[in-house]
Amino acid sequence: MSRTTLSLIAGATALVAVTGLAALTAPDASGAHPAEAAAELPVERTSLLCPVPSTSDLADTSYTSYTPVTKGAGSEGKGELRSASEESEDGSGDSGTSDGKKDAKKDGESDDKKTGKSGSTDKAVKPVLTPKAPGKPVTGDASGSDTPAFVGTAEGGFAPGWTVQETTEVAAGTGRGLQGVNCTAPDTEFWFPGASTDTGRTDYVHLTNPDDSAAVVDIELYGKDGTIESTVGEGITVAPHSTDPVLLSTLTDEKQTNLTVHVNVRSGRVGAAVQALDDKLGGDWLAASTDPAGSLVLPGIPKDATSVRLIAFTPGDADADLKVRLASPSGRITPAGNETLHVKAGMTSAVDLGAVTRGEAGSLVLTPTDDSVPVVAALRVVRGKGDKQETAFIPATGPVGTRATAADNSGKGSTLSVAAPTRTSRIKVTASAGSEGGTAASKTYTIKAGTTQDIEAPVPSGLKGTYALTVETLSGGPVYASRTLAATEEGVPGFTIQTLPDDRGMVAVPQADQDLSVLQK
């Protein structure tokens, strides 16, 4: 018998054996073995991007990293926060600031003024911090105008829920006061209602690319009359491992008090945030609004706010009509004279609510009056009076969900605000150990339906340094939260507000079974 015949017989025999096994193990058509629900497992890798904190020589910036202890997370892993340019494989030592789209620059301006570059091309920057262990914060600091953008990566047990806070104190000049931002994960689309090109405002869109290939980004602006025509914001190239702060006034000559900025990434991915600086009212970071939705919650308006402005935008073709309600400690309140807000399609709408909280904690709740139309929204909040005023922003945010964390808290000056807009909820708040010492502490709270509470959060016993606050939903309806940091300097009530959406530290992993039935097809 020839070798070819033997090979054919062996192959046929093997196929029959596999086919028989497949028949024996094929899924039962009657559904006797239904697919199991997806398991919730800790994520194994997290990336965060921190923008250039300031172009002021008077800026002092602190970075705080924290990973909550997560059941099921591995014991191994690592994390670090490094200069964006030092992530590059070519080791060029560049400052991490790219030129982006050169056409966005105006003639006669220096590079530093046009793009907000850090101005450093030679200074090698070591990791600003390296987390040591989950459950304990780690801090780092930088000063001056040459602090670069940072790219953070956490793996293994350091990844689930990893949070990094960037907090900057600027002693004087445009944007003086306290500025804070949660370093964000890279993405492909961002909405920023609340930006401005008005006289006295200097707003930058910071774009940071963590990857090995260039990202191509479009920046679209929408004012009170709709789209602001500009070709300068189209096709901005952000080089690999670099950051590009784009000054909004280079994209348009129009003076717009209230703008919505849309960052759309054509290729690649970036981290994005708007730095809004005012000559008289200080400044802060404007984080992206949650994805367009019919109902929105903007939590944690400080009780001593002297001015609150609501900015909203709908990206669709239909107008949106919204009910405006304030969730106070005693229940929902309708702001007098501002019961509803009409948002025209493709146009930015704004309304001044004044001192809407009237000395009590509050959160703004927006719901449709009739048909639900997706919108994005943010609040500009001012504290203080006269020449002693400071500004912060509260974007619409997602619920706390399973867990959310705010880092860089101190024994004084931190306020945790929690809202339950629909149903009464129970939450657990944990104060971590201090960055330099102390023991973690936890406490549970009940937040009544339709209310906002500034809760007296626990503080680590024997606290030294800063600590993190982690909020977990135990039962009831969705809760929304924000954390305010306050530090008064020379009579100016400096403050910054960060929202606490779900940290996405857990991911659904479908149950997979071997299925040899495919061999029968």
pLDDT tens per residue across span 343-357: 999 999 999 999 999
Mean pLDDT over the full length of the chain: 87
Q: Please report which confidence band the pLDDT of residue 310 belongs to, taking 50, 70 and 90 as the band edges.
A: very high
Q: Which of 11-15, 324-328, 411-415 has the lowest mean pLDDT?
A: 11-15
Using alpha carbons, list the distances in angstroms from residue 492 to 133, 189, 200, 410, 487: 37, 35, 18, 19, 8
User: What is the domain partition of the chain in residue ranges?
Assistant: 318-372+386-505
d(CA 232, CA 327): 41
**What average pLDDT score do residues 324-328 get?**
98
Whether the predicted pLDDT of 122 surpasses 70: no
Question: What's the pLDDT score for residue 6?
Answer: 40
Q: Which of 12-21, 160-169, 239-248, 296-305 has the lowest mean pLDDT?
A: 12-21
Question: What's the pLDDT score for residue 39?
Answer: 77
Phi, psi of 368 (to 5 degrees): -70, 145
d(CA 503, CA 38): 19
**What average pLDDT score do residues 2-28 get?**
40
**What average pLDDT score do residues 159-178 get?**
94
Query: 167 with 482: CB under 8 angstroms?
Result: no
Question: What's the pLDDT score for residue 36?
Answer: 59
CB contact set of 95 (below 8 Å; sequence gap of 6+): 85, 117, 118, 119, 120, 121, 123, 146, 148
Whether the predicted pLDDT of 331 surpasses 70: yes
CB contact set of 235 (below 8 Å; sequence gap of 6+): 101, 216, 217, 218, 266
Question: What's the pLDDT score for residue 87?
Answer: 56
Q: Please report which confidence band the pLDDT of residue 488 belongs to, taking 50, 70 and 90 as the band edges.
A: confident
* Residue whose pair of structure tokens reads 């001012």 in the numeric block: 382
Question: What's the pLDDT score for residue 518?
Answer: 58
Q: pTM for the whole thing?
A: 0.86
Question: Residue 451, exposed/middle/buried by CB under 10 A (0-12, 13-18, 19+)?
Answer: buried
Burial annotation 170-187 (CB, 10 A radius, 16+ → b, else e): beeebbbbbbbbbbbebe
Q: Please report which confidence band the pLDDT of residue 97 belongs to, taking 50, 70 and 90 as the band edges.
A: very low
Torsion sign (Cα): 175, 179, 183, 184: negative
Whether the predicted pLDDT of 15 surpasses 70: no
Question: What's the pLDDT score for residue 89?
Answer: 45
- Domain 318-372+386-505 belongs to what topology? Hypothetical Protein Tm1070; Chain: A (2.60.290)
pLDDT over 70 for what percent of the chain? 83
Q: Which amino acid is at 208?
A: T
Question: Over the stretch 446-474, which tens digit does the pLDDT of each residue have?
Answer: 999 999 999 999 999 999 999 999 999 99
Residue 366, CB half-sphere, CA atoms under 13 Å: how many?
Answer: 32
Whether the predicted pLDDT of 5 surpasses 70: no
Question: Token digits for 353?
Answer: 């609510």
Question: What's the pLDDT score for residue 472?
Answer: 98
Question: What's the pLDDT score for residue 231?
Answer: 86
Whether the predicted pLDDT of 498 surpasses 80: yes
Question: What's the pLDDT score for residue 521?
Answer: 58
Question: Residue 204, exposed/middle/buried by CB under 10 A (0-12, 13-18, 19+)?
Answer: buried
Whether the predicted pLDDT of 98 surpasses 70: no
